[in-house]
Amino acid sequence: MKFRHAAAFALAVVNGCAQVQSGSGWVLMLPPLSADGYADKSAPFAKWQTLGSYAGATDCNAAIARFQFAVNSQVGPISHAGGPMQTEAVQIMNAECFAADDPRLAGLAPSR
C-alpha cells in the first residue's frame, strides 16, 4: 500500500474512532513534527493537536493502541515522516494522553 493511501486510512480511522466527551477526563494529543520529520515531544502544548477527549486514562490509552495498530497494519513501523503523507502516521505513533486538568493544557482550544 502506498503511503498516501495509508495516511488517508489512518486519518479515516482517527477521525472516525475518536470519542469526544465533555468535562474533565483525559485528552489524546498528537505532537508536531520537527523540520526533519520526527515527532517533537518537547514542543509547547500550543503546537500539539488534540485528537479526542476520554473519560479516563484507560480509555485514552486504549484509543492510542487502536490508532497505532491501524497505522502499523497499513504502514508498518514508522518513526520518521519522509513526506507530508506520512506526517499523521508519525504523529499517531507518538500520541500521548494527558489529564484534562493538567496545568500545561490550560487555555488550549481543541484543534480537532
Q: Is the pLDDT of residue 19 over 50?
A: no
Kindly report the pTM of this predicted structure. Answer: 0.73
| Interval 58-96: pLDDT, tens | 999 999 999 999 998 988 888 889 888 899 999 999 999
The C-alpha cell at 80 is 520518521
* pLDDT, average across residues 1-24: 49
Please tell me the predicted confidence (pLDDT) of residue 110. Answer: 53
Please tell me the predicted confidence (pLDDT) of residue 18. Answer: 45
Percent of the chain with pLDDT over 90: 54
Report residue 22's pLDDT band, with 50, 70 and 90 as the boundaries. Answer: very low
Please tell me the predicted confidence (pLDDT) of residue 17. Answer: 47
Nearest in space to 54 (alpha carbons), one of 69, 41, 71, 66: 66
- Is residue 18 within 8 Å of residue 112, measured between CB atoms? yes
Helices then strands, counting H and E runs in the chain, come out as 3, 3
